[in-house]
Structure 1
Amino acid sequence: MNDKFAFRLITVVSVVVFVVVCVLQAKVFTLFPDVTVIPSWVFFLPRLNAIINGTCTVLLIISFYQIKKGNVLVHKRLNLTAFVLSSLFLVSYIIFHATGIQTSYGGQGAIRYFYYFILITHIILAAVVLPLVLFSFYSGLSMKVARHRKLVRWSYPIWLYVTITGVIVYVMISPYYTFN
């Protein structure tokens, strides 16, 4: 695959994912217009997403440690595992939000502002991180190490922040789920 094709593919994938997530957040359509027919396993997906995010956080930290030790193969394997898990997260996230289930945060006072700050930064950076991660992966797997290092200076901390805040958002919103 040449750089031009990779750039186009990464751009298309990033835009499509962004549009799908925006459509789901806008509640333009739902898979289950009648919430009484939503399969019971769907209600586990937010918890699964938090577990996946937490696992990715650990993998990313260990991966960083491994590359600092010069262990490229373990670094690559850990990042590929984190990428696969993040992809599964995205599928799970899309399925859950396609059901039309809505939950509002019920906290009051300063904690409410903290929650919304974390949520908003999480959402914005989640949108930004996908193309960064894809370009980082492409550069790393293509052994374009200098470009990979430049990209990872941005993609790694953003990806790590998104995985950590994903867990925080879940922990803070889960008491307000009406389907527990």
Structure 2
Amino acid sequence: MNNQDNSVDTQKAAKYNKWVVVLSVVIPIAVAILFGVKIPNVEPLTFLPPIYATTNAFTAFVLVLAFNAIKNGKVKRHESLMKLAIALSVVFLVLYVAYHMTSDSTKFGGEGVIKYVYYFILITHIIMSIIVIPFVLITYVRAITNDIERHRKIARITFPLWLYVAITGVVVYILISPYYIF
């Protein structure tokens, strides 16, 4: 990821930053649109929720490993783990959209305090999952353009946001899983 002369590649950064803006807008809009699309005459992919919840769990685990790697000065390991975390997040997104394009949304059936806890976690998860997209992309661009100081600064924000999204994705699944119809 680093240039050999350790200088920031500003031309590369400018090019990538345009993609950051585009993807940060297009991804949430595309997901929202696709969430409402139902593919007719296709077998519902009801087996996907535990798979994409597990993908979220792996993402959280990989993020913690990557954090520990960089804290221990293992830059290459950190780099590899962060690429894996991004790939896992993309896999999650594809599976999530595929499920919702083929299956009806599951209604949460809990009552009382747990209902409020579930909806609080779900709403904050959804909001943070949208907010984290540009943070992840900007953090990655700063790393690959060798803007390490600015990478570190934004990574301090990106890491807890992304970890929250990954962990709450699992929690949301655990809370709603009793209500899935298979």
TM-score under structure 1 normalisation? 0.91
Give, in angstroms, the shift of residue 24 of structure 1: 3.5
Query: What is the match of residue 146 of structure 2?
Result: 143
1:26-53 per-residue CA deviation (whole Å, 9 max, x = no partner) reads: x2x3122xxxx4335x112111111100
1:48-101 per-residue CA deviation (whole Å, 9 max, x = no partner) reads: 111100001111111111111010011111111111111111111111112251
Give, in angstroms, the shift of residue 2 of structure 1: 2.3
Give, in angstroms, the shift of residue 105 of structure 1: 0.3
Runs (4+) off by over 4 Å: none
Query: What is the match of residue 10 of structure 1?
Result: 20
Query: What is the match of residue 121 of structure 2?
Result: 118
2:125/2:169 contact within 8 Å kept = yes
Mean Cα deviation higher: 97-106 or 163-172 = 97-106
2:13/2:142 contact within 8 Å kept = no
Counterparts of 1:56 and 1:176 in 2: how far apart (Å)? Answer: 25
Counterparts of 1:76 and 1:114 in 2: how far apart (Å)? Answer: 35
Q: Does 1:39 pair with 2:49?
A: no
Counterparts of 2:23 and 2:47 in 1: how far apart (Å)? Answer: 27
Query: Among residues 80, 87, 111, which one is paired with 2:90 in the alignment?
Result: 87
Counterparts of 1:61 and 1:100 in 2: how far apart (Å)? Answer: 32
Counterparts of 1:38 and 1:175 in 2: how far apart (Å)? Answer: 24
Query: Among residues 43, 49, 68, which one is paired with 2:71 in the alignment?
Result: 68
Query: What is the match of residue 7 of structure 2?
Result: none
Query: What is the match of residue 6 of structure 2?
Result: none
- Aligned pair count reads 172
TM-score under structure 2 normalisation? 0.90
Q: Give the aligned residue type for 1:3.
A: A
Query: Among residues 143, 157, 162, which one is paired with 1:159 in the alignment?
Result: 162
Query: What is the match of residue 50 of structure 1?
Result: 53
Q: Helix, strand or coil for the counterpart of 2:39? A: coil
Q: Does 1:30 pair with 2:33?
A: no
CA RMSD of aligned residues (A): 1.3
Q: Where do 5+ consecutive residues of structure 1 fail to align?
A: none
Counterparts of 2:141 and 2:133 in 1: how far apart (Å)? Answer: 12
Q: Give the aligned residue type for 2:116.
A: Y
Counterparts of 1:169 and 1:38 in 2: how far apart (Å)? Answer: 26
Mean Cα deviation higher: 2-11 or 128-137 = 2-11
Counterparts of 1:45 and 1:58 in 2: how far apart (Å)? Answer: 20
Query: What is the match of residue 129 of structure 1?
Result: 132
